[in-house]
Structure 1
């Protein structure tokens, strides 16, 4: 069984993500962070399916990382938002600039929001979480807006909440949860490098 982290939901949620496994807009029973080798160049579709099968999962959204999941996973809750983050920053990048030579390193963020959101609000949540990620990186002294392979997923119940930007309570909670979990995960990641 591959190393990783598996989160089961108490009931199906709507998922909007760029995950390599079941990305896009889908319904999900949960999500996973799957560890891969730092020189990974395999068939991610087949490997994610295999991880799902090995762990008896069905209809999960799956993310991949070369970071030591058990050592860097950080979880933070604010209001109805729980952020699950794994961070590795060996390939920092700045949006709009030519990326450096590729090295493995990914920031994965999964936000579980226990509210009923429209799909538009879920997209808004991705924006707010990304702003919080970028702020955290810059605040901690990293000259980066992310890495070249970051993953994000927002999981919520279908509903009527239309906005998740920085002017809303939901956006405030997204920002707080992401900033706290990411900062903790980056500190854990730094400690694995020494």
Structure 2
């Protein structure tokens, strides 16, 4: 899990080093799929016009790039602000890669009018080398989501509806080789490693956004 990230703006690519089972709700390949990499595509509102079929457009973009099997995120966050963190706990290692924008942040259970805004969003990819059964991959997703939320709350981004807990377009992808490890909860080495890796990467990205983008919006 040491392959360098490939940043060729507007693309960012997280090479998994070989086929992994990946679970996400990404537009192009949602659910359980097999992939060698997870990509980001930076976009602007002008790229995604109302009449555009975004999943088809993204599929074509990936095909033209020669990476049609990648699971891919979309974000208007400057992908050069990517953060990553690797954590080892006992027998488990997890690597988290994140881009964090809070321009369409929400407090859970509420919605604000975000029309006309750039959707910075939070996109997180997490990889472990442990070979997991599908239920463990689902639990790994839950741990990653919890860590993302806690990190966002840590920066205390206040909205009219309450403290930001995420954005309206967040996406998470978790990746692992296929195997028999059945659990990834908070009492396991893997749960600890995933939680700390995601929390650290998202917190760093959220702090950067608050210090730069948010400050510029206020001024």
- Where in structure 2 are the equivalents of 1:1-194 lying within 5 Å? 3-38=10-45, 40-41=48-49, 42-70=52-80, 72-79=81-88, 80-97=93-110, 99-102=111-114, 103=117, 104-142=119-157, 143-193=163-213, 194=216
Please identify, of 114-123 and 34-43, the stretch whose mean Cα deviation from structure 2 is larger. 34-43
Q: TM-score, normalised by structure 1?
A: 0.92
- The structural deviation recorded for 1:144 is 1.7
CA contact (8 A) 1:2 1:51 kept: no
What per-residue deviation string (whole Å, max 9, x for no partner) do you get for residues 94-135 of structure 1?
2222x1112413100110111101111111011111111111
- The structural deviation recorded for 1:34 is 0.5
Please identify, of 133-142 and 46-55, the stretch whose mean Cα deviation from structure 2 is larger. 46-55
Name the CA distance, whole Å, in 1 between partners of 2:75 and 2:188. 31
Please identify, of 144-153 and 4-13, the stretch whose mean Cα deviation from structure 2 is larger. 4-13
Name the CA distance, whole Å, in 2 between partners of 1:15 and 1:135. 23
Name the CA distance, whole Å, in 1 between partners of 2:191 and 2:148. 13
Task: Work out which of the two has the higher radius of gyration on C-alpha atoms and give 1 or 2.
Answer: 2
CA contact (8 A) 2:154 2:203 kept: no
- The structural deviation recorded for 1:192 is 4.1
Closer, same or farther in 2 for the Cα pair 1:34/1:183, shift >3 Å?
Answer: same
CA contact (8 A) 1:76 1:177 kept: yes
Name the CA distance, whole Å, in 2 between partners of 1:91 and 1:187. 16
- The structural deviation recorded for 1:2 is 5.9
Extract unaligned runs of 5+ from structure 1.
none
- The structural deviation recorded for 1:9 is 2.4
CA root-mean-square deviation: 1.6
- The structural deviation recorded for 1:188 is 2.8
Count of residues in correspondence between the two structures: 192
CA contact (8 A) 2:130 2:177 kept: yes
CA contact (8 A) 1:88 1:186 kept: yes
Misfit runs of 4+, over 6 Å:
none
- The structural deviation recorded for 1:191 is 4.3
